[in-house]
Chains A and B, each alone.
Chain A
């Protein structure tokens, strides 16, 4: 068995006064303190863009060094937006295999050292095929745009139907202390949102974020509260969308979910943490998870069912859209937040009676997906 026994996270936002090391150390120390331990056998760092944005690789040793833990084995995991989910999966495997008893997973991303939108767009374009998608001028956002266009066409969904996800995410984030965008949106602001890659507008997309989150995994329950990682699943898809048959589906999400369920078929989540990098991606994800019929995801968000007090709570913290998206760290935030939900420490953003959670992390446009099923003990 593998348990999460402590978590730590920083505010998500624009940390002009903090570097990669400040963020990573702040989250890691908080997680170690939360778990009431001082040492671990392994460190797994999750990050997606430090080589591009911060001119810093060798990140595992970098984090260990600044934590005063040089000597501890460490490795970095990169899988674009799924880096955090994949890092937790690897850390779990280290525990299951007997390689380590306690593993510290630190997710960190420092995006705002690129201060212009052109440069952060270039950085995110490293998640698509460099030679055959980014070179001709494609961007990650333009891939989401094509997914949205395909979805609108196939199901006859008008553009304004995509507003329901950002509206709910902002409402949720408005009471989440560590969220980046803690304000509610007016429906009319969605309509007037600037175009990024037509038909995708700014309010369809997650913001640019800095942040770090850490979780401690252990083979034994912790001194305080613990959450069990019941089972996990992962799957990839083609990095390029032009190699896919149907842009309205995310087969890797479906496959990762199925693999996670295989080990625990009776698992019934009472809240869901999804990877809403764009509103259309969030819609397709809930359809792949079986929470909505194909083409009908907007109803889940507009009906109130996806609210914290609804029948199917989704992203109670505000999701990538409004909690923010420190890319490589996001999956670790998601796990830390699920832990805080289940241990009833999500003050202001608590889902009543949350005991079983599903956490989905996705890299690129569904190029890599990881699902973790977690339960209180």
Chain B
């Protein structure tokens, strides 16, 4: 448990991305990123606007973590995945509401808000996006 984890501002300033999946869009080439960057990694433009990213996408790669870092043991085994959103933007996220053996490449997923990191009994409870299989 690191003191950094107890930092309210460190979590608070990332909330647009963590709660609402807000990222950046390059007005020159259209490339989108999560989180929002000052400089477009594709064309180098500094002409960036904030946009809400689509909350649905598909799993393109994943790993089942059996050896968790401190603070994440509770979730073990859990799945982390590389997700391609409907507009092609890639994000890295934990999957939730799914058994590890049910996860497949190409699986359709949608964003939900879940408890992500709990820092001790009296510490900060950080919520953020996770992705679950699309219902129905």
Contact A142–B80 (Cβ < 8 Å) = yes
Interface of B is mostly: strand
Interface hits, A136-151 → B, CB 8 Å: 136-139, 141-142, 145-146, 149-150
Q: Which B-chain residue is minimally distant from A244 (CB atoms)?
A: B90
Interchain nearest-CB distance for A49 vs B (Å)? 13
Q: Give the contacting residue for B92; candidates A116, A138, A150, A199; CB below 8 A.
A: A138
Contact A242–B94 (Cβ < 8 Å) = no
Report the bound CA distance from A199 to B65 in whole Å. 9
A142/B35 contact (C-beta < 8 A), A136-B93, A242-B90 known: no
Report the bound CA distance from A262 to B104 in whole Å. 43
Contact B65–A142 (Cβ < 8 Å) = yes
Chain A residues whose C-beta falls within 8 Å of the C-beta of B107 in the assembled complex: none
Number of residue pairs across A and B with beta carbons under 8 Å?
100
Contact B65–A197 (Cβ < 8 Å) = yes
Total number of A residues with any Cβ neighbor in B under 8 Å: 36
A138/B67 contact (C-beta < 8 A), A131-B14, A243-B41 known: no
| Residue in B35, B90, B116, B129 with the greatest tally of chain A CB atoms within 10 Å | B90
Q: Is A247 an interface residue (CB 8 A)?
A: yes
Total number of B residues with any Cβ neighbor in A under 8 Å: 37
Q: Is B86 an interface residue (CB 8 A)?
A: no
Contact B61–A146 (Cβ < 8 Å) = yes
| Residue in A117, A121, A134, A198 with the greatest tally of chain B CB atoms within 10 Å | A198
Report the bound CA distance from A122 to B69 in whole Å. 5
Interchain nearest-CB distance for A202 vs B (Å)? 9
Interface of A is mostly: helix
Contact B66–A198 (Cβ < 8 Å) = yes
Contact A142–B63 (Cβ < 8 Å) = yes
Interface hits, A242-300 → B, CB 8 Å: 242-243, 247
Chain B residues whose C-beta falls within 8 Å of the C-beta of A14 in the assembled complex: none
Q: Which B-chain residue is minimally distant from A137 (CB atoms)?
A: B94
Q: Which A-chain residue is minimally distant from B103 (CB atoms)?
A: A198
Report the bound CA distance from A116 to B1 in whole Å. 13
Binding site for B on A (CB under 8 A): 116-119, 121-122, 125, 131-139, 141-142, 145-146, 149-150, 153, 194-200, 238, 240-243, 247
Inter-chain pairs besides A136-B116, A196-B66, A241-B82, 9 sampled, C-beta below 8 Å: A119-B70, A136-B93, A136-B94, A142-B65, A195-B67, A197-B65, A198-B64, A240-B92, A242-B91
> 9 pairs across A/B with beta carbons < 8 Å?
A132-B34, A138-B80, A138-B92, A139-B67, A139-B68, A142-B63, A197-B65, A198-B64, A241-B92
The 8 A-B pairs of least Cβ separation, nearest first, read A145-B63, A198-B64, A122-B69, A142-B63, A242-B92, A118-B70, A121-B69, A196-B67
